[in-house]
Structure 1
């Protein structure tokens, strides 16, 4: 198969899985590692992918990829992460869920929890949880971001300051190699920072496609979080750093169903 035929398929795999690896692509296409490295280099030079150690990811920039595209990425992993996270949230608790497809997956896993109060700046989360009659839902208000149903800005932050949550579940657009959580929208970052300040226990849900991505705005460090739920091990350096910070890393079991 020539590279002109491989390139579209490589891009489709990257969009579906969030990341491609040299070893996996060489096996899929029955070509050498060197051939795949050339393919990835060509795609990176054309701005279609961003090279990372051992493979490539979707390119980073100052804007995020489309919401529906994000929703389709790594759905199985997000489901496993969500189930693992939701298992740590008891009934009779107050919970904040912020913007993102991973937090929406958590909302679906809370449909059978009892006596919850969920506050959210995510219209999609509110619509999901309507089906749980034992869940009180509070929507923050704020500037509606039509692209993903998120509510951002000062009004959202002011509403959040009226609460002290038992648990906060947040997502991020990227996780830098030094453990910083990153995002693309500065207004959303301000809201996320307020959420963390107003919560007793803080959870991050993010799949492996966020590792090594870049985004321009910093939310916080993993050092400020209690638990990070993900689907793949972190680098040794970041794992050691989390141990020093007291941040628990929970890798969702691939056999979870």
Structure 2
């Protein structure tokens, strides 16, 4: 069976079961694992599926995919992005890290920074930074989102308004081709907008798969951040826009994440 015939059936299985696995599809179609991996890569590049460890899931529209699945998306790229971002974060500053697996990757890279005061609405970030004895950690209040350890709502936003951060590192659920940062949770969007207002400088961390996704709520534009750390070059049009906006674009090197 050619890939032309496999692709629609793969999408139908994904719609029916929520996720497809490489091994399951290989057995179903009687083809090799490598053949299925190529199929899933093609479908992901077309924006019809999102690759996760061992398989793929449907691209998101109005609801986000699960936290564990998000953690398994593009881990090498996220680590490279996090290292590039952390290399730009000086010691001895006040820093905000928000909700997301990319910002959690940044937190992992800050374990040897000194004299940071980190405020976060991400319980996972707080737990990661406990390993750094030189880091002062403050956690906002708010409604706990059990799915990913995020704190959202008015109490989180009110806590953030008590600070003026030297730097904020934020993520997003999706990126529109015009450079808009998008998310699924209206409460989280409100908190993210507050973070932007209360920070002297803002870094965005997001890998290229965010451009293949969509979400209904707008946070801001790439124009509103000082630097965008990602893993692939942007489109010609968006690169030109970032230049006009004076937003620095840093493409992390996945072969040597310390070399930009």
Q: TM-score, normalized by length of structure 1?
A: 0.82
Alignment of 1:220-235 (within 5 A): 220-235=220-235
Quick one: distance in 2 between partners of 1:113 and 1:80? Answer: 17
SS of structure 2 residue aligned to 1:165: coil
Deviation readout 1:177-211 (Å, 9 max, x if unpaired): 00000000000000000000000110000001101
Quick one: distance in 2 between partners of 1:212 and 1:239? Answer: 17
Q: Which residue of 2 aligns with 1:29?
A: 35
Q: Which residue of 2 aligns with 1:105?
A: 105
Q: CA deviation at 1:49?
A: 3.5
Distance of aligned partners of 1:127 and 1:60 in 2 relative to their CA distance in 1, 3 Å threshold: same
Quick one: distance in 2 between partners of 1:15 and 1:233? Answer: 29
Q: Which residue of 2 aligns with 1:67?
A: 67
Alignment of 1:152-231 (within 5 A): 152-231=152-231
Quick one: distance in 1 between partners of 2:79 and 2:59? Answer: 24
Number of residue pairs matched by the alignment: 232
Q: Which residue of 1 aligns with 2:128?
A: 128
Quick one: distance in 2 between partners of 1:122 and 1:8? Answer: 35
Q: Which residue of 2 aligns with 1:143?
A: 143
Quick one: distance in 2 between partners of 1:78 and 1:237? Answer: 24
Quick one: distance in 2 between partners of 1:158 and 1:142? Answer: 9
Q: Which residue of 2 aligns with 1:246?
A: 246
Deviation readout 1:44-103 (Å, 9 max, x if unpaired): 9xxx649xxxxx994231100110000011000000000000000010011000000000
Cα pair 2:171 2:204 within 8 Å, conserved:
yes
SS of structure 2 residue aligned to 1:211: helix
Root-mean-square deviation (Å): 3.1
Q: TM-score, normalized by length of structure 2?
A: 0.81
SS of structure 2 residue aligned to 1:168: strand
Quick one: distance in 2 between partners of 1:254 and 1:69? Answer: 21
Unaligned stretches of 5+ residues in structure 2: 23-33, 51-55
Cα pair 1:15 1:58 within 8 Å, conserved:
no
Q: CA deviation at 1:255?
A: 1.9
Quick one: distance in 2 between partners of 1:108 and 1:254? Answer: 17
